[in-house]
Amino acid sequence: MALSGLVLAGFVLGHMSGNLLMFKGPEAINAYAAWLHANKGLLWGARIVLVVSTLAHLWTGIQLTLENRASRDGGPAVDATRRATLSSRTMPYSGVVILAFAVFHLLHYTFRTVALGGVEFGDNVHGMLIAGFSSKPVAVFYIVSMILLCLHLSHGVSSVFQTLGLRNERWRARLDCLAQLYAWVVALGFISIPLAVLLGLLK
Ligand code: HEM
């Protein structure tokens, strides 16, 4: 769970940072996308790692959820439940929404088979993103999904610290704060693009 989560958390930070090139203009983001597509080894290597990590994350996530349910139904209340936060309690639900988002997102911008009105964008990723987020329901769906991603990441990253044995009583508050900061930076970075298109700041 921790290793696959770490890989996915690293990917979203990298993806969000690349997306911010939208604010530098069409040449910057289009050149970045063209560079990624030209580097087939890097692209396919990253795709394979992502698919394996996603499957491993889903499998271990389902198992953990079932184990938590079983211990909650039968056993005595454990100390951890008293510490449960909104993000920890909703991990399976935010996870399912993120998965649904990822499927939609791939169909939207990678396979380009939904919600783009059949327009051919070729290498114009900038134009595709503006067209994609000009649809209000689509932009709002992205923003809501990114808020849930923030919730999921903030607990997920705290849990990685726990697994690594770093989250002792002395460090708990500081590491939880770091995890929350990371989650908000990723979510707000992603949200900035559909929001800027909705507000007419990106054209
Ligand atoms: C506002 C938020 C986001 C925007 C604007 C965005 C934008 C894009 C674009 C434009 C592409 C296609 C790039 C290309 O073909 O050149 C893409 C691909 C992709 N995105 Fe996102 N993305 C967002 C959020 C996310 C999130 C949160 C995830 C993960 C949960 C994600 C996962 C992916 C994946 C897996 C691909 C496919 C990469 C590939 O193999 O080609 N994206 N994204």
Residue 203 resides in a domain = no
Residue with tokens 């100390």: 79
Residue 153 resides in a domain = yes
Q: Which domain holds residue 178?
A: 2-198
Domain total for the chain? 1
Residue 145 resides in a domain = yes
Residue bearing the CA closest to ligand 1, atom 41: 110
Residue 67 resides in a domain = yes
Residue 56 resides in a domain = yes
Is the overall model pTM greater than 0.85, yes or no? Answer: yes
Residues 111-157 pLDDT 10s: 999 999 899 999 999 999 999 999 999 999 999 999 999 999 999 99
Residue 80 is predicted with a pLDDT of 53
Residue 125 resides in a domain = yes
199 alpha carbon – ligand 1 mean position (Å): 21
SS (H, E, C) 7-36: HHHHHHHHHHHHHHHHHHCHHHHHHHHHHH
102 alpha carbon – ligand 1 mean position (Å): 8
Residue 66 resides in a domain = yes
Q: Is 185 exposed, middle or buried (0-12, 13-18, 19+ CB in 10 A)?
A: middle
Helix (H) or strand (E) holding 81: helix 79-82
Residue 167 is predicted with a pLDDT of 86
